[in-house]
Structure 1
Amino acid sequence: MSAPETVSKEQAIHQTSETRSDRFDTSRVAYRRMKNKVAHGLFFSATLIGVVVLAVLLFDIFQKGWPYLTADFFNNFASRLPSRSGIKAAFWGSIWMIAVTAPLTFILGVASAIYLEEYSKKGWLSRFIQLNISNLAGVPSIVFGILGLTLFVRGMELGKSVLAGSLTMTLLVLPTVIVAAREAIASVPGSLRQASYAMGATRWQTIRHVVLPYAFPGILTGTILALSRAIGETAPLIMVGAVTFLAFTPSSVLDEFTVLPIQIYSWIAQPKDEFQYLAAAGIIVLLVILLSMNALAIYLRNKFQR
């Protein structure tokens, strides 16, 4: 066989292998594109289902509750008569509870995060504490309600007061705030700390003037989102004795109280349809408060990031 014929056969074999390789690559790319389209459709469908269900719920709530959002609804106390019932006691009880819970949660949560991240020695004890704090963030809220009943209502003899409820809610959201604050503090670049030390600053001066301003947006966002959870909780406050019917607003932290979620729950349990509409109106008010808190978190985060 001559040399040109041998070369031509080798070229033919090489071209055939290249053709097969190109076909294989094309089929593999087509298969990957098909998988991508299927995954995209699946995720889009899952998201669409959640959005549609939420839209239907919001439409139903606003349709039933919007006509009941009147001045009397905010100025009247709860009553057995739907026409005379309102959320005055529950609304101001929620304001009192958040007003006490917010500073306690922020101070204790940030202080604990600073100690764990900046001062504690990195050993087994520190890891054990951090592990338990992370686990506490997933404990059911009713457990904190039992703890609040035992520790604050009976142990400290605070009774069914705003202070007992606020301390219980502080325990509930404190692990979440500590975890969020630790992550925000840990995200501060080490070069900023070293630069501060090089300028002669002490550890506390570095934390106060360098670390906290840098981490403040994340700390603030985590705190407000945790408080948003606190204002919508019901089970812990039922355990500490928040009443369902109250004909006055709290005037001090030692007064009895009720909150919006408990009042909504009480109305939903009533057989009359008018109470269902009142509950829908209360849900609208609670949603407005929650969305306002979340919007405030976003605004403050963007402001301090700049």
Structure 2
Amino acid sequence: MSLSQPLVGERTREQIRKSVTEPSSDVAGGIFKSLLMLSLGLALMIIAVLFVDQIVDGWAQLSTRLGGFLQGTLRSRSEDELLGVHQGLYGSFWIAVFVAVLAFPMGLAAAIYLEEYARENRFTSFLELVIRNLAGVPSVVYGLLGLFLFVNSGWLSENITNGSTVISAGLTMSVLVLPIVIITSQEALRSVPAGLKEGAYGVGATQWDMIRSQMLPYAAPGILTGTLLSMSRAIGEAAPLILIGAITGGMTANPGITDVGSLDEAFTAMPIIITTWVQQSGRDAGFLTAAAAAIVVLLAFVMVLNMAAIILRNHYEKKRVG
């Protein structure tokens, strides 16, 4: 009896401790969840109000000539029947293509190297610190970098970018979002359970086989979320494009969306068109309606890209659960 008595006392004290701490943690968790849902609901309400407001302001363009607006070009008068955003859609689309082709694979490869292959030393720590600092650099600084590196540099400008073109814009935006892709991919890779890695090694897989067959499928939802955020930022930035030399006035060329032959010519993009039309609304009030319609088109364009990323993310989440 003397040996069992302390064990009973220990159990009693453990039960008392749990009865005291568990309710308090449940209350704190409930408060945090409520605040989180409240913040999410408030953010969605603000976005919905802004979206509806822009639809109302641009309804004169969207309701009467949506097709012509999507196929139209930059004009000096808002009453012009050929006014539209096709040239901006062309520039934004190919900027997104450059980001997807360059920034995403390079960012993912860098994240895999830093997480699985790089040794933990001062150089690696310094490199990760630099990457995180680069993610917070203002976009206008990247615009200056693109102006110097891709527009004004002799060899690159003469042989690859041809000055102020979509190629220069795409390369600049790829550099801009690259740190974000690396950081989000690293966080997604760190979330992979150690048991998956050990199980792969246990059946004789090499390190690359483990990464390809276990880590990447498990981390794919988080990686796609990061790419979604970086893509949205690349499409919506205006300051770097202004510095690179995007056209704000009339353009003679109006290439098709898939026309790669115009990538080395003068360009514009949706954020540039919106900024220009808002500025011109002071002398021509009709441009304010056109700018609102262009904002709705840009939001719809971003939402289509986001939906594609969400579908892929949900696909990998189902495979992970299965």
1:67 aligns with 60
Amino acid at match of 2:76: R
- The 2-side partners of 1:48 and 1:206 are apart by 40
- Give the one of 261, 278, 294 matched to 1:268: 278
Code of the residue aligned with 2:293 in structure 1: it is A
Q: Is the 8 A contact 1:173 1:230 kept in 2?
A: yes
Residue in 2 that maps onto 1:77: 73
Q: Structure 1: which amino acid aligns with 2:58?
A: G
SS of corresponding position for 2:248: coil
RMSD over aligned Cα atoms: 2.4
**Contact kept? 1:145, 1:239, Cα under 8 Å:** yes
> Any unmatched runs of 5+ in structure 2?
1-26, 256-260
* One-letter amino acid matched to 1:77: T
Change (3 A) 1:95 1:298: same
Give the letter aligned to residue 124 of structure 1: R
1:52 CA drift (Å): 5.7
Q: How does 1:135-150 map to 2 (within 5 A)?
A: 135-150=133-148
Q: In 2, distance between residues paired with 1:294 and 1:75?
A: 23
Give secondary structure in 2 for the equivalent of 1:82: coil
Deviation at 1:60, TM superposition (A): 2.6
2:258 corresponding residue in structure 1? none
Q: How far does the alpha carbon of each residue in 1:18-49 deviate from its partner, in whole angstroms, 9 at most, with x for none?
A: xxxxxxxxxxxxxxx9xx99xx79x95x7777
> 2:94 maps to what in 1?
96
Unaligned runs of 5+ in 1: 1-32
- Give the corresponding residue for 1:259: 269
Q: Which residue in the other structure is 1:188 paired with?
A: 192
Report the alpha carbon displacement of residue 54 of structure 1 after superposing the two structures with TM. 4.1
Q: Is 2:45 the counterpart of 1:57?
A: no
1:125 aligns with 2:123: yes
Q: Which residue of 1 aligns with 2:231?
A: 227
Q: Percent identity?
A: 43
Give the direction of change, closer, same or farther, for the CA distance of 1:304–1:52 in structure 2 (3 Å limit). Answer: closer
Counterpart Cα distance in 1 of 2:129 and 2:305: 29
Distance 1:193 1:305 in 2: 18
1:297 aligns to what SS in structure 2?
helix
Alpha-carbon spacing, 1:192–1:256, altered in 2? closer, same or farther (3 Å): same
Query: Deviation digits for residues 241-283 of structure 1, max 9, x if unmatched?
Result: 1111323235343222110010011000012110000000000
TM-score (ref. length: structure 2): 0.78
When Rg is computed on C-alpha atoms for both structures, the one with the higher figure is: 1
2:296 matched residue in structure 1: 284
Q: Aligned pairs, how many?
A: 271
